[in-house]
A and B are shown apart, each in its own frame.
Chain A
Amino acid sequence: MKIFTVVLVILSLGIANTTLAQETEKVLPKESKYKEPSTKTWINTYGNIRISKRLFWVAQTHFRFAETEDTPFVGQVAQIYNRHAIGYLHSKKFNASLGGVLRLNFNTNESSTDRNLVPEWRIWHQYQFAVPLSSMMIYHRLRIEHRWTQGFEENSNYTFRNRWRYMFRLKIPLNNHKLKPKTFYVAPETELIMQSGKSVVASPMEDLRITTTLGYILTPRLTVAAGAMYSQGQKLSNGGEYKQSWAIRCHLYFSPDFRKVRNKLPEIHLDD
């Protein structure tokens, strides 16, 4: 519970920070403006490699595609994520991770003459609560990211922002009474991503993602899922403008355990 308290403190501090840094340089429109939704495709791999009884290595690689004028969803590569962390299994119901991200951002502005590829660096930590309810599972995920981004222009400076993310997710088994191998499940999720930083003046809500995926647990170590996501969020440059998107998401979850049998046994009970 201590960890939970720490997270809350950090969160509240962050939100206070954003309110203090209000600026009114840009003129906000009288009414919010919603841009036409763009289309994207995310192909994400989630690796979770057990390294000891309580520690695991989080290794995620995400390929994100964006539309072009000719091709919706998969017209061009937009970002490649490399997300790594060391996770700690506190119990069945709570785990936490801390690590870094290297995101490669591709310039998707077809008319731009700027750099085509810029890196983005992040430090992230997350706290996930898992709650069984009846046959399904409920997850609360708090993720805090400290990101350094730069524009595609030559010699542009790194901008530091914080991201405050909360995700609420369900996993509901469809053909079984619980989540187990050979089970289809549906996973509706909603994630609110808030941001703060000097550059964030009137656009604290970076993104609201509403997703539903259909997953299939092949084995305890391998799951696939696919779904659709709708998202909207304030543009950083003008809080009155909202961008929207539709995304196809394809996920591969894998969790190998290379430890020797002898170390694996007895089975993981953690603290129950």
Chain B
Amino acid sequence: MNHKRLTNPFLFGLVVVLFFSSSLFGQTQRYSGPYAIEKYAGIAEYNYYLVSKDTVLEGDFKMYRSNLDLLINKEDSSFLFEGAFKENYPTGDWIFQFGDFKTDKTSQLVNYQYRVNINGIQEEAKGKIKEGRPDGLWVYKVNHIKDSEIEKTTFKSSIEFDKGIPQKDFSIENEQNTLVGMFLRNGLAHDQWSLFSSNAMGTNEDWNFSDGILRNIQIKDSRNKSIPVYRLKNKNTKTIHLDKRYLNAIQLQIALNGEDSIYHGNIEQLLKENNDYYKKIDGILSNLGRSTFLPELKVKVPYYPLDSVEVGLINTIIENNNSSKKISEALLRNTQLNILKLSDSESFYYYNIIHEITNEFVNPIDNFVLYNKQQIIEFVPREAVLQSLWENKIPSYKTITVANDVNSVESKKTYELYTEKDFSFTTSSSLEKIAKIASNIQKSLANIQEIVVNKLTKEQREQELISLEETLILDNTIVSKYIDSTANFISKKYVPALQSIKAKSKEQLSIYATIKDNGLKLEKAKSILACNKSYLELAKTTTNIPVQVDSLQKIYVDKIWNPFTATLMDEVIKKQITNAYDKIVIPHFLEQVKSNLDCKQVEELSRQITATYKDVLALRNKNTHKLERKLKKEQNPKTIMELFHNYANTKDH
């Protein structure tokens, strides 16, 4: 540039603008050092400048990592991202490499360099980027490396883009399948897409698109069959991405067309694999600057948009059917019902109804719920959806007939489903019909649930009662048998008391037998259960009294020297105590046992008998002169027991 030219006012102006602009954008700086994006951490080298504290990448960019130590000792995950940015947009040639390598640790010296062989997988993506979008041919390869050489390619996709929109031919292949197809300039799938299987047994098929609309699928195997997809009576179409949603939509459409399912997932698998690789790069680029790196494979589908009323109806359907499903699953899995249905005809009948309703209504509507989840309802005619749910016909019938007798296959009973009289199945729209069916079914199931749960609760209570009754009878028998068994050895004195325990225990059962109400019965049974335990305890305590008296007799003696016989003789000591116990307290106890057998007092009485015995036992070695004097006059058993207790618990000396 010579000075004369600078006199040109235009050029001068340009120079000034350039000068200012460069000062405005600031001076680019170079960064070279550690850097991390997502899970990738390594060394980065790049140029940038700052705009209001934001980093703007400009110029060459390189980020890499490889670790020899790790490679030799274990395994190294290396990567290399290299390209350039312009005003923060990735632009120009880019290369992405990801490697997972191991080494066999053999090395050789070549040209003053140590070389080691590596084994592993290397992914490499190469292509141009324009304003953050893939532009031109992008090739993504996954290579298996063995002894530092490519052994095989397990994935390869070649797609040509124009500012992010796929163009012309593309191919995606993995080890099993290859998909080849083409796009229109606007990215819509067009013409023939072919899927080849590298496996001889696999399916080869052609997908024939016309301006983004899949017309048919040509299966190229022994069947050699053409499956029509969209016939396109509806002119209203929508452009969507070729993704899982689209594949679900085709699936539904093929089913609606009455064709066999051809779904095998091969195309989906390839597209998904490709998508995942592109996402990886998009993730890196989005973290560095501005970009949209996902390939936009587009297709067209017939479009039947949902209005707000329909959306409302769909929500009602989902809500009702989910509720129905919950009820039916809970009841069909209920162990009690499952056992009961084997013997109880009514339970059998309800189980069958629930089962039938689930098959006839809940499961089909659940398919509709699934279509909604897949967001494909908009792509098929409503009426067709309705028909797809019920293969035969829309179940407008209001009754269900099922077997109702455990012992007879032929016996059947009809259940009337909930219906709304005002609703017309002939004049309503498809969604309205589904919604109405879902709501009716929900109400029917809720009603059945109430009946069944009540029945199960009742059954449970009855079962509980039966088992309680068995225990009651058993307990009563135990009490009776125990008392009968004492007859052989017990002194007559104790017989009336024991017999009255036996009688009282039986009497409880008779009282129980007169109660009609199940709730009261359960309550009474539980109280008798506790009571019987107390009775048995009292019977045992009573039977034990003579044993206790015996033991007291043995204990209340002292060895006395009889000088006339020159022998030691047992002398009964503290007779006032043992007499009061034998002659007053025990008869009192026996009287109590006979007359005072209120269940609540039984336990207390048992306790008292045992406690008094223990008191008397303790008195043997106590200073009891005063007590003995008091006992001489005392005839009241309660006072005596009290005295016993007091003296037994005083400290001597």
CA distance A178 to B558 in the complex (A): 17
B320-363: CB near A (< 8 Å → 1, else 0) gives: 00000000000000000000000000000000000000000000
Q: Which of B99-138 contact A (CB under 8 A)?
A: none
**Could you tell me if A217 and B569 are in contact, using CB atoms closer than 8 angstroms?**
yes
Give the A-B contact count at a CB cut-off of 8 A.
70
CA distance A76 to B531 in the complex (A): 77
Closest A residue, CB atoms, query B566:
A130
Report B318 CB to chain A, min CB distance, Å. 93
CA distance A139 to B563 in the complex (A): 12
A247-272: CB near B (< 8 Å → 1, else 0) gives: 00000010101000100100111100
CA distance A144 to B582 in the complex (A): 50
CA distance A188 to B9 in the complex (A): 171
The verdict on A95 contacting chain B, using a C-beta distance below 8 Å, is yes
Known contacts A220-B560, A221-B560, A267-B559: A181-B570 contact under CB 8 Å: yes
The verdict on B571 contacting chain A, using a C-beta distance below 8 Å, is yes
**Could you tell me if B561 and A268 are in contact, using CB atoms closer than 8 angstroms?**
yes
Report B466 CB to chain A, min CB distance, Å. 59
**Could you tell me if B566 and A48 are in contact, using CB atoms closer than 8 angstroms?**
no
Closest A residue, CB atoms, query B560:
A220
Report B190 CB to chain A, min CB distance, Å. 121
Closest B residue, CB atoms, query A132:
B567
Most A CB within 10 A of own CB, among B558, B559, B566, B571? B566
Neighbouring B residues of A139 by C-beta, 8 Å: 566
What are the 8 closest A-B residue pairs judged by CB atoms, nearest first?
A130-B566, A220-B569, A220-B560, A267-B559, A48-B563, A268-B561, A253-B564, A220-B571
The verdict on B555 contacting chain A, using a C-beta distance below 8 Å, is no
The verdict on A56 contacting chain B, using a C-beta distance below 8 Å, is yes
The verdict on B562 contacting chain A, using a C-beta distance below 8 Å, is yes
**Could you tell me if B565 and A179 are in contact, using CB atoms closer than 8 angstroms?**
yes
**Could you tell me if B563 and A267 are in contact, using CB atoms closer than 8 angstroms?**
no
Q: Can you spell out 27 A-B residue pairs with CB atoms less than 8 angstroms apart?
A: A48-B564, A50-B561, A50-B563, A87-B563, A89-B563, A92-B567, A95-B563, A130-B565, A139-B566, A178-B567, A179-B562, A179-B569, A180-B567, A180-B570, A181-B570, A181-B571, A181-B572, A217-B562, A220-B560, A221-B560, A253-B564, A255-B562, A257-B560, A261-B623, A267-B558, A267-B568, A268-B561
The verdict on A115 contacting chain B, using a C-beta distance below 8 Å, is no
**Could you tell me if B566 and A220 are in contact, using CB atoms closer than 8 angstroms?**
no
Report A79 CB to chain B, min CB distance, Å. 22
Report B397 CB to chain A, min CB distance, Å. 99
Q: Which of A206-221 contact B (CB under 8 A)?
A: 217, 219-221
Q: Which of B415-463 contact A (CB under 8 A)?
A: none
The verdict on A93 contacting chain B, using a C-beta distance below 8 Å, is yes
CA distance A87 to B572 in the complex (A): 26
In the complex, which of the residues B560, B561, B565 contacts A137, with contact meaning CB atoms closer than 8 Å?
A: B565
CA distance A128 to B572 in the complex (A): 28
A133-173: CB near B (< 8 Å → 1, else 0) gives: 00001010000000000000000000000000000000100
Binding site for A on B (CB under 8 A): 558-572, 623
Main secondary structure of the interface of A (DSSP, over half): strand
Report A250 CB to chain B, min CB distance, Å. 15
CA distance A132 to B560 in the complex (A): 17
Neighbouring B residues of A267 by C-beta, 8 Å: 558-560, 568
Given contacts A130-B565, A178-B567, 6 further A-B contacts (CB under 8 A): A48-B564, A89-B561, A179-B565, A221-B562, A255-B562, A268-B560
Report B422 CB to chain A, min CB distance, Å. 103
Report A44 CB to chain B, min CB distance, Å. 12
Neighbouring A residues of B569 by C-beta, 8 Å: 179-181, 217, 220
Known contacts A267-B559, A268-B561: A93-B566 contact under CB 8 Å: yes
Q: Which of A107-143 contact B (CB under 8 A)?
A: 128, 130, 132, 137, 139
Neighbouring A residues of B567 by C-beta, 8 Å: 92, 130, 132, 137, 178-180
**Could you tell me if A137 and B566 are in contact, using CB atoms closer than 8 angstroms?**
yes
Known contacts A89-B561, A267-B558, A268-B561: A219-B566 contact under CB 8 Å: no
Q: Which of A68-87 contact B (CB under 8 A)?
A: 87
CA distance A48 to B566 in the complex (A): 12
CA distance A179 to B561 in the complex (A): 12
Neighbouring A residues of B565 by C-beta, 8 Å: 130, 137, 171, 179, 217, 223
**Could you tell me if A223 and B564 are in contact, using CB atoms closer than 8 angstroms?**
yes
Main secondary structure of the interface of B (DSSP, over half): strand
Binding site for B on A (CB under 8 A): 46, 48, 50, 56, 87, 89, 92-93, 95, 128, 130, 132, 137, 139, 171, 178-181, 217, 219-221, 223, 253, 255, 257, 261, 264, 267-270
Most A CB within 10 A of own CB, among B563, B567, B571? B563
**Could you tell me if A221 and B566 are in contact, using CB atoms closer than 8 angstroms?**
no
Closest A residue, CB atoms, query B570:
A180
Known contacts A267-B558, A267-B559: A92-B566 contact under CB 8 Å: yes
CA distance A253 to B568 in the complex (A): 16
Neighbouring A residues of B558 by C-beta, 8 Å: 264, 267
Neighbouring B residues of A223 by C-beta, 8 Å: 562, 564-565
CA distance A268 to B561 in the complex (A): 7
Most B CB within 10 A of own CB, among A46, A221, A270? A221
Neighbouring B residues of A92 by C-beta, 8 Å: 566-568
Closest B residue, CB atoms, query A179:
B565
Neighbouring A residues of B560 by C-beta, 8 Å: 220-221, 257, 267-268
In the complex, which of the residues A56, A217, A261 contacts B563, with contact meaning CB atoms closer than 8 Å?
A: A56
**Could you tell me if B570 and A46 are in contact, using CB atoms closer than 8 angstroms?**
no
In the complex, which of the residues A46, A50, A89 contacts B564, with contact meaning CB atoms closer than 8 Å?
A: A46
Report A45 CB to chain B, min CB distance, Å. 12
Neighbouring A residues of B562 by C-beta, 8 Å: 179, 217, 220-221, 223, 255
Neighbouring A residues of B623 by C-beta, 8 Å: 261
CA distance A223 to B570 in the complex (A): 14
Neighbouring B residues of A181 by C-beta, 8 Å: 569-572
Closest A residue, CB atoms, query B573:
A261
CA distance A92 to B568 in the complex (A): 9
Report A2 CB to chain B, min CB distance, Å. 20
CA distance A269 to B558 in the complex (A): 12
**Could you tell me if A219 and B571 are in contact, using CB atoms closer than 8 angstroms?**
yes
Report B244 CB to chain A, min CB distance, Å. 100
Neighbouring B residues of A257 by C-beta, 8 Å: 560
Most A CB within 10 A of own CB, among B559, B568, B570? B568
Neighbouring A residues of B563 by C-beta, 8 Å: 48, 50, 56, 87, 89, 95, 255
CA distance A102 to B365 in the complex (A): 130
Report A16 CB to chain B, min CB distance, Å. 32
Neighbouring A residues of B570 by C-beta, 8 Å: 180-181, 220
CA distance A264 to B623 in the complex (A): 14
Report B122 CB to chain A, min CB distance, Å. 103
CA distance A255 to B571 in the complex (A): 13
Report A248 CB to chain B, min CB distance, Å. 20
Neighbouring B residues of A46 by C-beta, 8 Å: 564
CA distance A257 to B565 in the complex (A): 16
Report A96 CB to chain B, min CB distance, Å. 12
Closest B residue, CB atoms, query A48:
B563
CA distance A171 to B562 in the complex (A): 13
CA distance A268 to B559 in the complex (A): 7
Report B261 CB to chain A, min CB distance, Å. 104
CA distance A221 to B623 in the complex (A): 22
Neighbouring B residues of A261 by C-beta, 8 Å: 623
CA distance A180 to B565 in the complex (A): 9
Report B627 CB to chain A, min CB distance, Å. 14
Neighbouring A residues of B568 by C-beta, 8 Å: 92, 267-268
Neighbouring B residues of A270 by C-beta, 8 Å: 561
Closest A residue, CB atoms, query B569:
A220
Known contacts A48-B564, A137-B566: A221-B559 contact under CB 8 Å: no
Neighbouring B residues of A180 by C-beta, 8 Å: 567, 569-570
CA distance A56 to B561 in the complex (A): 11
